Structure 1
Amino acid sequence: MPPAPPSPAAKPRLTVLLAGPRGFCAGVDRAIRIVEEALRRYGAPVYVRHEIVHNRYVVESLERQGAVFVEELEEIPDDGRPVVFSAHGVPKAVPAEAARRRMFYLDATCPLVSKVHREAERHFAAGRHILLIGHAGHPEVIGTMGQLPPGAVTLVEDAAQARALRVPEGTPLAYITQTTLSVDDTAEIVAALRARFPAIAGPAKEDICYATTNRQAAVKAIAPRCDLLLVVGAPNSSNSLRLREVAERAGCPRAVLVQRGAELDPAVAEGCATVGVTAGASAPEALVEEVLARLRTRFALRIEEVAVTEERIAFKLPAALAEPAAAPLAVAAAAPTTP
């Protein structure tokens, strides 16, 4: 039988630094609202291609409301039900196939990811070969590369690859980036590319999104003060993984990714005086509260909020959902929407 938790008087004290901003970004919030509003207007089921965001808590919550998650459109019957594309973006072939099948679809791609897609199209139209800085296999990378014909984009994953890269001779170059990368790693890769290709074109404004940048800055602000930093997020969440890496590089002896409170052994903080807590952009604040509750079973917490900036960005819903009343589904199905 496990030992009883210590009484409040006997609990060791633990300072918790809560990084701010943390958790949901505007793109994640918009994507979730799109699924919820589609369910409210049209009822269940609403199909969602790929996890709407990389967080099982969010996915399971939407499943309970009637969302059905699939990996490919071929899994969806031709029953006229709404289909939502995830916040990560999709290759152009996906909406093309949905239109061919006369599906009623809603695109929940984050507007900042869509911005990168449009950049890629402009560079391609200008005759440039595109170097995409990102992680192979990530849905956002697959979606971005899928905006253009095969061979138009070369993926660059690290500075070593940038220094050894072979590109089409005589072709002007441009680079774009995944939105959820490490700011510092990306700067190193860009520097390597610029050293080799001084004329390379880049984005007018960096592609790494404001939320990724802000969350990494917040982690850097608290990491040197922490004995341990807990990142609330999913193991397939790029921005959450980057937060763990940033914490360790910024001076925290140990950083751990945890999906939710139930999975956390509070003993991980044994011997620590100060623990930092943050959350990836797809992790809701409810999961942060779970982690704090789990720590309270073993420690007497003193919580300090450390905010580096305040976020007030919000993205509008697609026009089809922003209207006061939805059109009948049979009519909407004849005119797919691509916000």
Structure 2
Amino acid sequence: MAFEDLTNLDLEITREPGKKKDRNHAYVNKVHGLTEALQASGHYKEDYEAVLLDLGIKAAKIEPEAYGLLEIDHMNAEQALALLTAIVKKDERVEGFAAMCLESGFIEELLSRLEAIDYENREIPSWIEDAVDDIIPKLMDLPKGAETTVNRLMQPYLHYIDASGEYKERTYNFSEGEADAVDVLHQRAKEYGMYLDSSAYDYMTLSTPGNIHFQVRRIEKGSGGPKTIFQFGLGGILGGWCSIRIDEFVDEHVCIMYNKERLIDQKIKNVNQDQLMRLESAIEKAGVQKWMPEYIDNTVLDGESWSILINGASGIFESSGSNKYPKGFDTLLDCLRDLFGLEAYPPEGGYEGLSD
């Protein structure tokens, strides 16, 4: 792994000192180890300012708490290392700056990204690559609506005869082989216009990735997956949460729905053109596209929150709220309940009545 010397550093403070002075000293000590590792490993980026400027980031302007705006999850290794270098360099001018970045979680996010890049670039056993090459044509012939699992597909390739004629069994389990097979198969399938859809089993937390069932759906070759054209969620901590998402594939639309207090019993079903047209009509009737970006009632501490996303020809529209609801909200809710069976029942007088 290219970045193990950085990602394996122990930067955690297991028992945070009570006094601010002691706490700061603890973070400074941890950062000192990171600075040394960055310089000794050859990952220090001399051209960090230029690299960051290409991203629209001025190195001198970075702040410990503002890293959420930087889209670190999409950065490549050079960009993440440039940010780490920028933090170390600024620490030379602003004493304690790197320690503040460690305490805020900024450095942890960068190291997590480098760890993810290492994982993405790991060496995959050649027998798994060969097995996936052989499996792809079989997936293309899988009947629509049929389900299978990665582990089931890999079974024929777990035994082989070696050069001496001996029968051998390959090591294949959750910690070795399975994750590689899942990742390679999912990625290679996309190159052939296939999406291995396991949406109906999102909550199978007790299953290993290779044992989760999926269906094969058609997408544009090389694309990352289906396009989500509609998404709505409503609920709260006390009352449960319900949501609906509609994904667009090459030859079908699929609805994934979760209902209150039965999240493990989610539903997935196809959506026909008539339903899409009626949903579009209800959105227009409710005046959704005229809703404000946010509706908040700060006088209520708990209650319910909601959000909506529409991804259409005119672009992406989003709105959300907490304990406050726009005109047309109940109309939209009625449509989702009637068309798809979303179990979202308004209080007496409707949700809009709560905002009066």
Larger Rg: 2
TM-score bracket, shorter-length normalisation: under 0.3
TM-score normalised over the length of structure 2? 0.23
Higher relative contact order (CA 8 A, sep 6+): 1
